[in-house]
Amino acid sequence: MTDISSPPTNSERPDGWWRSAVVYQIYPRSFQDSDGDGVGDIPGITRRLDYLAELGVDVLWLSPVYRSPQVDNGYDISDYQDIDPLFGTLEDLDELIAGAHERGLKLVMDLVVNHTSDQHAWFVESRDPASPKRDWYYWRSARAGHEPGTPGAEPDDSPAAFAPSAWTFDPASGQYYLGMFSPAQPDLNWETPEVRSSVYEMMRWWVGRGVDGFRMDVINLISKPAGLTSSGPVDPGSAGFMQIANGARLDEFLAEMNREVGLEKNNLITVGEMPGATVDVARRVTDPARHELNMVFTFEHVELDKQEGGSKWDLADLPLPRLKGNLAEWQYGLAEAGWNSLYFDNHDQPRAVSRFGDDSPEHRVHSAKTLATVLHLHKGTPYVYQGEEFGMTNAPLTEIGHFQDVESLNYHTLATAAGVTEVEVLRSLTRKSRDHARTPVQWDDSANAGFTDGTPWFGVNPNYVGINAEDARRDPASVFAHFQKLIRLRHELEVVREGRFELLLPDHDQLWAFTRTLEAAPAGDEDQPRALLVLANCSSTPADLPADGLPGLAGAVLVLGTHASAPEEPRLAPWESRVIQLG
Ligand code: GLC
Domain boundaries, the chain: 118-187, 398-432, 500-581
Q: How far apart, in Å, do the first and last CA atoms of the chain sit?
A: 54
What beta strand segments (E) does 27-166 contain?
A: 59-62, 66-67, 79-83, 106-111, 139-140
Chain segment 418-434, per-residue pLDDT in tens: 999 999 999 999 999 99
Mean pLDDT across 406-419? 95
| Residue 239 clears pLDDT 50, i.e. is over it | no
In this structure, whether the domain defined by 118-187 belongs to CATH 3.90.400.10 is answered with yes
From the CA of 167, how far away is ligand 1's center (Å)? 18
What values do phi and psi take at 213, rounded to 5?
Answer: 165, -175
527 catalytic, yes or no? no
CA-to-CA distance for 158 and 104, rounded, in angstroms?
46
pLDDT band at 523 (very low <50, low <70, confident <90, very high): confident
Whether residue 9 has pLDDT greater than 70: no
Which residues does ligand 1 sit against, CB inside 6 Å?
A: 72, 75, 112, 181, 217-218, 273, 347-348
What letter does residue 91 receive in the DSSP assignment? H
Q: Which of 273, 292, 345, 388 is catalytic?
A: 273
Ligand 1 mutation target, pool 61, 116, 180, 217, most atoms within 8 A of CB: 217
Judge whether residue 409 has pLDDT over 60.
Answer: yes
Among 188, 216, 348, 410, the mutation site with the greatest number of ligand 1 atoms within 8 A of its Cβ is 348
Distance 72 CA to ligand 1 centre (A): 8
| Calpha distance 307→185 (Å, rounded) | 28
User: Is 191 among the residues known to form the active site?
Assistant: no
Using one digit for the tens of pLDDT, what is the confidence trace for 327-368?
A: 999 999 999 999 999 999 999 999 999 999 999 999 999 999
Q: pLDDT band at 227, cuts 50/70/90?
A: low
Residues 6+ apart with CB under 8 A from 524: none
Q: What is the pLDDT of residue 230?
A: 40
Cα 475 to middle of ligand 1, angstroms: 35
Q: Would you give the DSSP letter of residue 445?
A: S
For residue 206, report the phi and psi dihedrals to the nearest 5 degrees.
-70, -40
The dihedral over CA atoms of 218, 222, 228, 232, expressed in degrees to the nearest 10, equals -10
Q: Is there a contact between 293 and 216 (Cβ–Cβ < 8 Å)?
A: yes
Which residues fall within 8 angstroms of residue 419, CB to CB, at 6 or more apart? Answer: none
Strand order in the sheet with 167-170: 139-140, 175-178, 167-170
Q: How many CB atoms lie within 10 A of CB 100?
A: 22
What would the pLDDT profile of 285-336 be if each residue is shown by its tens digit? 999 999 999 999 999 999 999 998 888 999 999 999 999 999 999 999 999 9
Calculate mean pLDDT across residues 102-124: 98
Q: Which one, of 113, 105, 85, lies nearest residue 28 by Cα?
A: 85
Mean pLDDT on 78-92: 98
Closest-lying ligand 1 atom to the alpha carbon of residue 346: 8
Rounded Cα distance between 574 and 583, Å, is 26
Bridge partners (DSSP) of residue 140 are 176
Between residues 412 and 230, the one the model is more confident about: 412
pLDDT in tens, 467-498: 999 999 999 999 999 999 999 999 999 999 99
In this prediction, residue 231 carries a pLDDT of 42
Question: Candidates 73, 75, 111, 116: which one to mutate for ligand 1, based on the most atoms within 8 Å of Cβ?
Answer: 75
| More confident call, 251 vs 241 | 251
Superfamily of domain 500-581 in CATH is Golgi alpha-mannosidase II (2.60.40.1180)
* Higher local confidence (pLDDT), 244 or 439: 439
pLDDT beyond 60 at 560: yes
Q: What is the pLDDT of residues 42-59, one digit of tens each?
A: 999 999 999 999 999 999
Single-letter amino acid code for the residue at 542: P
Ranges 234-248, 363-377, 440-454, 542-556: which has the least confidence: 234-248
Question: Helix H segments across 234-290?
Answer: 238-244, 250-261, 279-286
Residue 445 pLDDT greater than 70, yes or no: yes
Q: What is the pLDDT of residues 364-389, one digit of tens each?
A: 999 999 999 999 999 999 999 999 99
CB 567 within 8 A of CB 553: yes
* Average pLDDT of span 60-70: 98
Distances (CA, A) of 40 to 62, 85, 88, 391: 12, 11, 10, 20
Split at pLDDT 50, 70, 90, the class of 233 is very low
Number of Cβ within 10 Å of residue 356's Cβ equals 23
Q: Whose CA is nearest to atom 2 of ligand 1?
A: 217
Task: Look at residue 158 and tell me whether its pLDDT is greater than 90.
Answer: no
Statement: residue 235 has pLDDT above 50 = no
Query: Which pTM value belongs to this model?
Result: 0.96
Q: Which whole number is the average pLDDT over 216-225?
A: 93
Taking CA atoms only, the protein residue closest to ligand 1 atom 12 is 75
Q: What is the pLDDT of residue 521?
A: 83
